[in-house]
Structure 1
Amino acid sequence: MQTSAVPDLAHTHARPVHWLATATAMAAVVAAAGLLQPRAATASQAGAPGTGSAAAAAPDPAGVQLPLECGGAKTVVTGKASGDLDGDGSPETVAVARCDAGSGTPPSGVFVLTQGRGTGPRVVATLLEPLEKQSVKDFAVRDGAVTATLLGYSSPDVPSCCPDQQEKVKWRWQGGKFVRSAPAQARSM
């Protein structure tokens, strides 16, 4: 008679109830992460010319028609941050938006908004065109610059669900326009 040195580990066999418990736990973690977001960034400079004593409010992208061609689908703002990008003492808002496609990885657009005088907010610059077929992650506005990681595709054969290239970029206001810079190499994923 031969005995086994390893006891029968019946509890190591995955059953549907284990997968259900794992999925429930993951859903709870994702929901908690969604609720625990930092407050929106605001920037103002006290005493800056033309600002008066009250700080200007950053434009809200919810009230702006973003230049996206969604073919009947809704536009979704996936990120926004504010700061004084052009040094005029008033904050601009940078919005990352895409069409609500429902599957795959729809391309993003990155838009700069300003508060119009006597009118509502308006788009004044497009930093990333959706036609470039890239999506955005790690997006921020810091020290007068917009930074992001762009995800893209090495060829049309790569499925839209799974970008296989990434590039870190920065946009800064210089000489009356936004100038894009990036490290010398793009990194594949």
Structure 2
Amino acid sequence: MQPSAGPALPHTRTRTVHWLSTAAALAAVVAAVALVQPAGASAGAAGDAGSAGHPAGPVPAPDPGLVDYPLTCPPGAEADVVDRVSGDLDRDGSPETVVVVRCHSELGTPPSGVYVIGAPAAGGGAPHIVETLVEPEDDRQITDFRLDGRTVRATVLGFSTDSTPRCCPDMRGTYAWEWRGNRYVAITSRPANSI
């Protein structure tokens, strides 16, 4: 082992003041980086969903009570939403509401329409109909209405002739509607007395 070349040089000795000044300089750099943000950055945390063009939090489903439905109801009769389901059917990050609507009636079962309701536009306004799945003019009744994942399912009842009593539909079909590509596609499972 070789002897030391001599006493340690004065500038190589570590003192407390050196550590304190280094820590203070490092803290100043960290603080400056935290205060400086790139242009367009939001005050939210990095990776905030709102900065990526998607809603920052859960988006409520469109309220079907705020929609004007294209039904021709008798004077004094309002459109009744008799069933509804909600979900993000088209995978755009915002839920849709699908509703079964018919004119209010104390007796009988008026024909139903099935509508997909979309959220208001970015500038505001009311929810609106984006697609009609069943036209009221087709004189159909809807039962067993439900959402299965992203698929809307229902049993659709109808009448074989105009003379068939409206109380007693004599035709039935099982339907499903799915978003495919850029539209809703109807998928039917037709029994013998199908519509």
For 1:90 and 1:52, the matched residues in 2 are separated by 8
CA shift, 1:186, in A, is: 4.8
Work out which of the residue numbers 158, 162, 171 in structure 2 matches 1:156. Answer: 162
> Is 1:51 equivalent to 2:45 in the alignment?
no
**Runs of 5+ consecutive residues of structure 2 not aligned to the other structure:** 1-48
Secondary structure (helix, strand or coil) at the match of 2:189 reads coil
For 2:105 and 2:117, the matched residues in 1 are separated by 24
Aligned to 1:141: 147
Aligned to 2:102: 98
For 1:51 and 1:107, the matched residues in 2 are separated by 38
CA shift, 1:133, in A, is: 0.3
Q: Which amino acid aligns with 1:69?
A: T
Work out which of the residue numbers 108, 113, 129 in structure 1 matches 2:112. Answer: 108
Secondary structure (helix, strand or coil) at the match of 2:81 reads strand
Identity %: 42
CA shift, 1:155, in A, is: 1.2
Query: Contact between 2:55 and 2:93, CA under 8 Å: does it hold in 1?
Result: no
The count of aligned residue pairs is 143
CA shift, 1:69, in A, is: 1.0
1:29-70 alpha-carbon deviations (Å, 9 max, x no partner): xxxxxxxxxxxxxxxxxx696333311110010111111111
Secondary structure (helix, strand or coil) at the match of 1:182 reads strand
Aligned to 2:65: 62
Query: Contact between 1:83 and 1:142, CA under 8 Å: does it hold in 2?
Result: no
Range 87-96 or range 98-107, more displaced: 98-107
How large is the RMSD of aligned CA atoms in angstroms? 1.9
1:164-186 alpha-carbon deviations (Å, 9 max, x no partner): 11110001111211111111435
Aligned to 2:39: none
> Is 1:80 equivalent to 2:80 in the alignment?
no
**Runs of 5+ consecutive residues of structure 1 not aligned to the other structure:** 1-46
For 1:50 and 1:160, the matched residues in 2 are separated by 49
Bigger Cα Rg? 2
